[in-house]
Amino acid sequence: MKGTIKILTILGIKLEMHITFLILPIFFWFMYGMKGIFIICAIFTCVAAHELMHSVVAKNYGIKVDKIILLPIGGIANMRSNPKTPMQEFMISIAGPLFNIILALVLYFPLKIVLGSYSLSHPSLITWSGTMAYAYWINPILAGFNLLPAFPMDGGRILRSLLAIKFSYLKATKIAVGFGHLFALIFAFIALTSQPPNLILLLIALFVFMAASQEQSVASLKSTLNNIKVLDVLPENVYSVNPQTTMSDVLNQMLHSNQEDFPVVTDEGRITGFLPREKIILTVQNKELDKKVYEIMLVDFPTATSSEFLGSAYSKMESTHLKALPVIDNEGILKGIITLENVSRVYSLFARKQRK
């Protein structure tokens, strides 16, 4: 996501803040002074810890997490792939709210002693004791709000994981998305009927509705692709390049064919590297067309097999941000190449056929 500022790296995960998040400290400073800044720091810490717990559990299941981005309406953990089972999704989703609940329970009695029962139960930004109480209640409120069964919030993902035990992943997603749309409409109604209108809640409602709709589209895509094998859509013609080929020759091949990504194959026919379109474009921009392919190519890259389902191949491209994958046989011999364009074309055809 563009417009982010890196804060720090923790457990190998980058913590970034979107520049729009800066709206909050400016607003709260204007309204409440240093107490406002303290509250924003508390919100920042609670949301970051919440997302970090999701990420730690996800990494435990082998899911790569690049970064956590903090936005004015919450945080997003950028996971490279989806959980493989409903139980994995349940554990990842529950981790964030569970952390906030446990932290609230741990801090309750110490803060009750320090602040007193009245101050703890009456948060306010007028006094510092009330401000600390306000900061304390961020955790249970954050947990409770996220546990609402409104996809894409944690509660919606928990609901889907439980439904997926009995129903198909697509049907479970549709039900969870339906709840997400319902809650989005409720949020919007409350936001618009409040005096004055609650713009932040309205923004959350819009985000929930759009994210839920997008998740249903992705689930529908993967459901369709999981019924089609790579072999069924593998293009007949594929161009490969040799490690010693110059990048100027690769560019010429790219311009005279419909292929933008090239497997790198030895004289024996074994694939030894992969040259994605992004690398070719970067080479042109840097005016390095005299370089050889072996100097530019990827040596660590995923592959697909012809017997693999398209859903699996798509997930590999999604997790590595590649737009194509070499297809090989069991002995490592190149059989072809599958691209995002192939996947998109196949899905469009099948989706159109299902609507008829």
pLDDT in tens, 45-104: 888 899 999 999 999 998 888 888 887 767 788 887 778 889 999 999 999 999 999 999
Of 23-37, 69-83, 257-271, 328-342, where does mean pLDDT reach its minimum? 69-83
The alpha carbon of 166 is separated from its chain's Cα centroid by a whole number of angstroms, namely 25
The arithmetic mean of pLDDT across residues 200-228, rounded, is: 84
In this prediction, residue 24 has a pLDDT band, given cuts at 50, 70 and 90, of confident
- Record the tokens describing residue 28, joined without a space: 């709260």
| Exposure string for 108-137, b = 16+ CB within 10 A, e = fewer | eeebeeebeeebbeebebeeebbbbbbbbe
Mention every residue, 6+ apart, whose C-beta is less than 8 A from residue 240. 262, 263, 264, 265, 271, 334
341 counts as catalytic: no
Look at residue 19 in the predicted model and tell me its pLDDT: 81
- Record the tokens describing residue 276, joined without a space: 């994605």
φ, ψ for residue 38 (rounded to 5)?
-60, -45
223, 168 contact by CB (below 8 A): yes
pTM of the model: 0.77
Of 131-140, 199-208, 277-286, 347-356, where does mean pLDDT reach its minimum? 347-356
- 94 vs 238: CA distance, rounded Å: 45
- Judge whether residue 169 has pLDDT over 70: yes
Instruction: Given the residues 16, 51, 89, 215, select the one marked as catalytic.
Output: 51
- 43 vs 100: CA distance, rounded Å: 12
